[in-house]
Amino acid sequence: MASKAFRKPLPLQALLIFFLVVWVVMAAFPFLWTVWGSFKVEGDFFSKADWANAIFGTRTRAETGDLFTGQGYYGAWVQEEFWRAALNTLIVCAATVMISLTFGTLGAYALSRSTYRYAFWFLIIALIFRAMPPITLVSGYLPVFFDWNLWGHLPTAIIVLVAINQPFTLWMLHSFFNNIPKDLDESAMVDGCTRFQAFRHVIVPVMWPGVITTALFSFLLAYNDFAITALVLSKENQTMVPKIASFLGTTQTKGNVMFAVAAVVSVTAPLFVMIMFFQRQIVSGLTAGAVKG
């Protein structure tokens, strides 16, 4: 990186640093604000009277006697047993990521190696499938799921998420496999391997960077999904996002917004660890060409 080609003139460097600072503030400020506010009461978090209350904790002090309160966290995790939802989310995300990548790598590998025109149309049809708004799909599933007694179970939600996630996974992994030289697996086949053996012994060892990058996006999709999990899972199998939505109240009744805020803040910590852990792979994955078309 010490290459002269990358040394920038001072004004440009300053400009970039300035931009970076602005962006970091933009990206992090709402989150930091949420973290700060999660230790307040609702009257301060949504301080309609004066926004400065959110900083000085006027209502928090009046209602709890302290500047900070853990009520939101206590309510979410202990009273409402948010850990159940967190556990369900963990199961759903892990399973979704693993299954979509298994299906996705197999399919995308074949798509990248086939020279027939149907492979192209396969990709295009997958893309068109992705255009379908998920809420319309879900309303089509419900009667069938109820009829066949599939409704409410975690595996149902997982397989639906896998299916909806397939087009994106296929596209991303397809471009990645395109960048793995064909000679690798073809020479293995010349040596007498079957197509699957070539895939298993030659391609699998070199595909991890791309797979991990795709995994991140699959994970985030399953993690943030609301449209499907809210309607397909029963109460005891509820995942985090619908649980958070249930804290927000309805037209006729008041909710516990601070539970939702505390819940959101507390689940960001594991994500931070995860990204720190995988950031090198994420980048090297894309580097290896996941998206080079």
- Least Å distance, CB 244 to other proteins, is 6
The SS3 assignment for 233 reads strand
Q: How far is the CB of 57 from other proteins (least distance, A)?
A: 14
**Residue 16 beta carbon to other proteins: minimum distance, rounded to whole angstroms:** 5
Give strand pairing partners of 233. 152
Nearer to other proteins, 87 or 129 (CB): 129
| Residue 205 vs 293, nearer CB to other proteins | 293
Nearest CB to other proteins, comparing residues 87 and 249: 249
Contacts (Cβ under 8 Å, ≥6 apart) of 197: 188
> What value, to the nearest 5°, has the Cα angle with vertex 23 and ends 22 and 26?
90
- The HSE-up count of residue 187 (CA atoms within 13 Å, CB side) is 5
88 or 213: CB nearest other proteins? 213
**How many other C-beta atoms are found inside a 10 Å radius of the C-beta of residue 111?**
21
Separation between Cα atoms, residue 135 and residue 230, nearest integer Å: 11
Percent helix, strand, coil in the chain (nearest 5)?
80, 0, 20
- Comparing CB distances to other proteins, the nearer of 52 and 87 is 52
DSSP state at residue 39: T
Q: Which of 232, 227, 235 is nearest to 145 (CA)?
A: 232
Q: How far is the CB of 233 from other proteins (least distance, A)?
A: 9
Smallest separation, CB 94 to other proteins (Å): 17
Give min distance, CB of 91 to other proteins, in A: 18
Question: Are the C-beta atoms of 94 and 158 separated by less than 8 Å?
Answer: no
Distance CA(233)–CA(146), nearest Å, equals: 11
Question: Residue 184 has which token pair?
Answer: 């690798």
Classified as helix, coil or strand, 152 is strand
Of residues 24 and 78, the one with the C-beta less far from other proteins: 24
